[in-house]
Amino acid sequence: MSPRFALLSLVLAAVALALGAASAHWLRMSGSPSGALVLDPPRPMPELDLLDHQGRPFDRARLAGRWSVLFFGFTRCPDICPATLIALAGASGRLDDLPPGQQPQVVFVSVDPMRDDPGTLARYVPHFDPDFTGVTGELPAVQTLTDALGVAVSYRRQAEGDYSVDHTAAVFLVDPQARLRAIFTAPHEAAQLARDYRRIVAGRG
Amino acid sequence: MRRVAALALAGALCSTGCGRADGPVVEEAWVRAAPPGVAVQAGYLVLHNPARDAVTVVGARSDAFGRIDIHESVNRDGMRAMRRVERLDVPAGGRVRFEPGGRHLMLIGPARPYREGERLHIVLVFADGREYGFDAEVRGDAP
C-alpha cells in the first residue's frame, strides 16, 4: 500500500467512525417506513463545489427547491452500483404520478472522482435513466458531501496498481430545503424505495 | 404432442449449457449490460457440480474481456466492498450461485460495447486443469 493510499484510507476510516458514532445519536428509527431512517430534525447540507455530468456546477442550490435522492458509487463498481441504479430507476418510474414538485431528482455521486470525470459519468449515469444526474469533482469537494452525510469511503489497493472503493450503499433523501431528511438502508428494491419515499414526502415519515 | 413438449423442454433446459453428465454445469448465465466505455461489467450464473467429487474453480477467461476475476460483494466495516475469490469450491452434488449483491464474475475490459441479447462465450478453469465453456446472455437486469 502506497503512503498516499494508506493515509487516505486512515483519514477516511477515522472520519467514517466519527460520523457513524455521531449519526447514531441523530438518527431515530422511524416506525412506519421500513428500510428508512428518518432524521428529526433534518440536517442542513454544507455548501458544495461539485460538477454534474454535463460539466455544470453542482452547488447546494442544486439541492434546494425539490426533493433529491442521492446514491454514492463509482463506474468501476459492476455489481452493487448498477443494481442500485436500476432499483432507483424503477422507484423513480413508480413516482410518475406525483406532482412535479414532489418528484425526486436522482443524483449519483462518484466516490472515485480520480477516474470518474464528468465525461465518464455522462456516458454512464443516463444509461440507467436519462433524467438521472451524475456528480463528481475534486476529491476534497466530494468528501465535503460524503462527510456531511456520514458516507463511509475507503480506497483499497488491488493487484497491478488498481484499486477498489468500499463505500456506504445507503441511499440518502435530501428535502427541498437542502437538508438530509432520511436514509434508506441497503439492500434496495424499487417498490420499497418508492413506498418509503411517498410516506416521507407526504409528511407521514 | 407430449413427446414434442418433452423434447422442447429438454432443449430449453440445455440452452444455457449442457456439459458432460459427470462434469460441472453452468446454468442461468448472464452478463449485466453496461453503457459503452464502461471499464468493468459483472457476470452471474449458477454452477452445478453433479459429480461425486468436489471441484474447484481457479479462474475464468473470455475473448470478450481483457481479464476475468471472481469477486464477492461483502459488508466490511459497515460499507459494501468487493473481495477477490482466488479459489471457489463446489462440493459434490452442490450448487454455487453468482448473483447480484453477492458473488460475481468481474469482467474487466470489454473488447467492445455489448448489446442486450448478445451471447458472450466464457470459460471457467478448474484446479484439475479442466475447462468448461458456456454462453452468457447480455441483459439489463436479472432474468
CA distances from B56 to A35, A75, A114, A117, B19 (A): 38, 30, 37, 39, 16
Task: Read off the DSSP letter of residue A12.
Answer: H
Q: Which B residues in the span 14-53 are in contact with A, Cβ-Cβ below 8 Å?
A: 32, 34-42
Q: Which A residues in the span 162-181 are in contact with B, Cβ-Cβ below 8 Å?
A: 164, 166-169
- pLDDT for residue A107 is more than 80: yes
What are the tens digits of pLDDT across the range B51-94?
A: 999 999 999 999 999 999 999 998 888 788 888 999 999 999 99
Are A184 and A173 in contact by the 8 Å Cβ rule? The answer is: yes
**Model pLDDT, residue A35:** 80
Q: Amino acid letter at A47? A: E
**Model pLDDT, residue A9:** 60
Which residue's entry shows cell 432524521?
A: A39
Cα of B67 to nearest chain A Cα, Å: 12
Cα of B79 to nearest chain A Cα, Å: 4
Distance CA B94, CA B111 (A): 33
DSSP line for A116-129: --HHHHHHHHHHH-
ipTM for the complex shown? 0.78
Are A52 and A71 in contact by the 8 Å Cβ rule? The answer is: no
Q: Measured between CB atoms, does B143 come within 8 Å of chain A?
A: no
* Count of A-B CB contacts under 8 Å: 75
Judge: B38–A75 Cβ closer than 8 Å, yes or no.
yes
Cα of A65 to nearest chain B Cα, Å: 31
- pLDDT for residue B11 is more than 50: no
Would you tell me how many other CB atoms lie within 10 Å of the CB of residue A2? 10
- pLDDT for residue A181 is more than 80: yes
Which of chain B's residues have a Cβ under 8 Å away from the Cβ of A77? 40, 82
Among A29-38, B33-42, B58-67, B89-98, name the one with the lowest average pLDDT: A29-38
Winning range, highest mean pLDDT, from A33-37, B4-8, B12-16, B75-79: B75-79
pTM for this structure? 0.82
Would you tell me how many other CB atoms lie within 10 Å of the CB of residue A33? 20
Cα of B55 to nearest chain A Cα, Å: 25
Task: Read off the DSSP letter of residue A200.
Answer: H
Are B87 and B133 in contact by the 8 Å Cβ rule? The answer is: no
Q: Half-sphere exposure of residue A109, counting CA atoms within 13 Å on the CB side? A: 32
Residue in A76, A79, A152 closest to B78 by CB: A152
Element (H, E) at B82: strand B79-84
| Residue A151 banded pLDDT, cuts 50, 70, 90 | very high
Task: Give me the sheet containing A105-110, strands edge to edge.
Answer: A27-29, A36-44, A179-184, A171-174, A68-73, A105-110, A133-136, A50-52, A57-58
